[in-house]
């Protein structure tokens, strides 16, 4: 097959990492070309694709103080992005691909390229409307009033309409979890088929090294990722060594470095609100490290409660109790870790997940 992959994903994102891992395995038996929109080319990604067609897009930065820039971002730049996607669609069409495999956009969520006459357009939903922060957890709305508040509400409505109308042009939709499948049905009234992501169980594997950290947390400082809950839970637990890897401050340069962090930790804590799937939990379990996660969204589909980790309610005391239990019992941690590793090897490898996607591509091309 000849497969065109398209995305506008940020560099430091699990979604972009997933696209690379999927493409790397599809490339073994197919031609896989990437059409990518961004501000900077990442030449290290060339190994995942047969060819890369890079299209530069430099949005004006906005940090909350220049509403002229914000207005430009929400009007002129959106139109420029639309025209750029139209051009890319023409470039894809003239190269005669069997499958157009489309992923998300950091600019508009469901990319404009879905609107153009390509066949078959398969949209992979890494999340439902992940680029638009929900009002319930948005600090930005709380700090606005008057015209700025009305503008923000209006532009969110417009962006939601753009997102919805683009996604509905997809010929097929794949979801990364049953949670995401349900959200897509609720938000867009579209059916989708679940094709899970995976983990590289060879890169992420157990290592007999010293445990330098009691708890590992990976995410952002935003309230949506739940770090504040972890801080509250450990306040009265004595000397607990936490390694918090925040995307705002630092990030790891390789999977090897990330796997080392997992292996240096006794437990990994995952507390994100409405996490669609959760690659962190999968990678931790592949390293034989038990996970404590909130019993919500995608975590419920990857973690087996009391076997590969713990699923808990979003509660400070509950989190504290389970952390004390796991950190205080080496034998329990070891058993959880062994079962977690086996769970990944049996059910969550990239080779297994991509094989299922490839089989579906072939079925679609023969319809």
Domain ranges of the chain: 2-198+350-365, 213-347
- In 127-247, DSSP assigns E strands to 172-175, 193-194, 213-219, 242-246
Q: Give 158 or 8, the one with higher predicted confidence.
A: 8
pLDDT at 15 over 70: yes
| Location of structure tokens 């025209």 | 83
Is the predicted pLDDT of residue 61 greater than 70, yes or no?
no
In sequence order, the β-bridge partners of residue 4 are 33, 100
Q: Give me the CATH topology for the region 213-347.
A: Rossmann fold (3.40.50)
Look at residue 63 and tell me whether its pLDDT is greater than 60: no
What pLDDT is attached to residue 72?
A: 73
Identify the pLDDT of residue 125.
Answer: 93
Which helix (H) or strand (E) segment holds residue 146: the answer is helix 146-167
Count of CB atoms situated within 10 Å of the CB of 231: 13
> Encoding tokens for residue 96?
């005669």
Residue 327 pLDDT > 90, yes or no?
yes
Q: How confident is the model at residue 42 (pLDDT cuts 50, 70, 90)?
A: confident
**CATH architecture for the domain at 2-198+350-365:** 3-Layer(aba) Sandwich (3.40)
The answer, yes or no, to whether residue 132 has pLDDT greater than 70, is no
More confident residue, 285 or 242: 285
CA distances to 64, 118, 136, 196, 358 from 25, rounded to whole Å, are 41, 24, 39, 15, 9
Compute how many other C-beta atoms are within 10 angstroms of the C-beta atom of residue 288. Answer: 23
pLDDT at 142: 57
H or E element that contains 100: strand 99-105
pLDDT at position 137 over 50: no
Q: Determine the pLDDT at residue 236.
A: 81
- Per-residue pLDDT, 143: 63
Q: Which two tokens stand for residue 9?
A: 């994903």
| Residue 114: band (very low, low, confident or very high) from pLDDT cuts 50, 70, 90 | very high
Average pLDDT over the chain, rounded to an integer: 89
pLDDT at residue 59 in the model: 75
Query: What is the DSSP code (8-state) at residue 143?
Result: T
* The two domains 2-198+350-365 and 213-347 share their CATH topology (first three levels equal): yes
Inform me whether the pLDDT recorded for 136 exceeds 70: no
pLDDT winner (highest mean) among 159-163, 168-172, 210-214: 168-172
* Mean pLDDT score, 126-131: 65
Q: Name the pLDDT band for 67 (thresholds 50, 70, 90).
A: low
Backbone angles phi, psi at 217, to 5 degrees: -125, 130
Q: What is the mean pLDDT of residues 225-243?
A: 86
Higher pLDDT, 12 or 299: 299
How much is the pLDDT for 129? 61
pLDDT value of residue 131: 41
Query: 174, 182, 197: which is closest to 123 by C-alpha?
Result: 174
Is the pLDDT confidence value at 134 over 50?
no
Are 270 and 294 in contact by the 8 Å Cβ rule? The answer is yes
- b/e for 127-162, b at 16 or more Cβ within 10 A? bbbbbeeeeeebeebeeeeeeeeeebeebbeebeeb
Distances (CA, A) of 183 to 68, 155, 268, 282, 354: 34, 22, 26, 21, 23
**Considering only 141-150, 169-178, 188-197, which range has the smallest mean pLDDT?**
141-150
Asked if pLDDT for residue 52 goes beyond 60, the answer is yes
Task: Return the pLDDT at 331.
Answer: 95
């Amino acid at each position: 097959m000849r497969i065109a992959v398209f995305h506008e994903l940020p560099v430091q994102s699990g979604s972009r990492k997933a696209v690379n891992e999927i493409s790397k395995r599809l490339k073994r038996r197919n031609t896989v070309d990437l059409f990518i929109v961004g501000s900077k080319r990442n030449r290290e990604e060339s190994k995942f694709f047969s060819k890369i067609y890079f299209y530069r897009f430099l949005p004006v930065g906005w940090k909350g103080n220049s509403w002229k820039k914000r207005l430009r971002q929400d009007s002129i730049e959106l139109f420029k992005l639309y025209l750029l996607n139209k051009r890319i669609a023409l470039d894809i069409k003239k190269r005669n691909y069997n499958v157009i495999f489309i992923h998300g956009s950091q600019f508009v969520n469901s990319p404009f390229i879905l609107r153009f006459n390509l066949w078959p357009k398969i949209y992979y939903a890494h999340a439902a409307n992940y680029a638009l922060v929900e009002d319930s957890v948005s600090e930005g709305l709380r700090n606005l009033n008057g015209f700025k508040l009305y503008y923000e509400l209006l532009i969110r409505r417009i962006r939601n309409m753009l997102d919805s109308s683009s996604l509905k042009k997809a010929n097929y939709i794949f979801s990364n979890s049953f949670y995401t499948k349900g959200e897509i049905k609720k938000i867009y009234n579209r059916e989708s088929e679940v094709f899970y992501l995976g983990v590289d169980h060879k890169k992420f594997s157990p290592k007999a090294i010293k445990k330098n950290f009691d708890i590992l947390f990976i995410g952002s400082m935003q309230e949506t990722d739940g770090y504040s809950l972890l801080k509250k839970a450990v306040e009265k637990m004595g000397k607990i060594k936490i390694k918090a890897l925040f995307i705002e401050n630092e990030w790891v340069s390789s999977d090897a470095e990330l796997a080392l962090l997992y292996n240096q930790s006794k437990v990994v804590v995952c507390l994100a609100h409405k996490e669609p799937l959760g690659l962190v939990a999968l990678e931790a379990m592949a390293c034989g490290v038990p996970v404590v996660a909130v019993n919500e969204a995608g975590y419920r589909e990857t973690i087996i409660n009391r076997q590969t980790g713990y699923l808990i309610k979003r509660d400070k005391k509950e989190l504290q109790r389970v952390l004390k239990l796991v950190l205080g019992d080496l034998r329990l941690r070891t058993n959880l870790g062994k079962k977690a590793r086996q769970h990944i090897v049996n059910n969550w490898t990239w080779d297994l997940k991509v094989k299922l996607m490839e089989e579906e591509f072939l079925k679609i091309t023969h319809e």
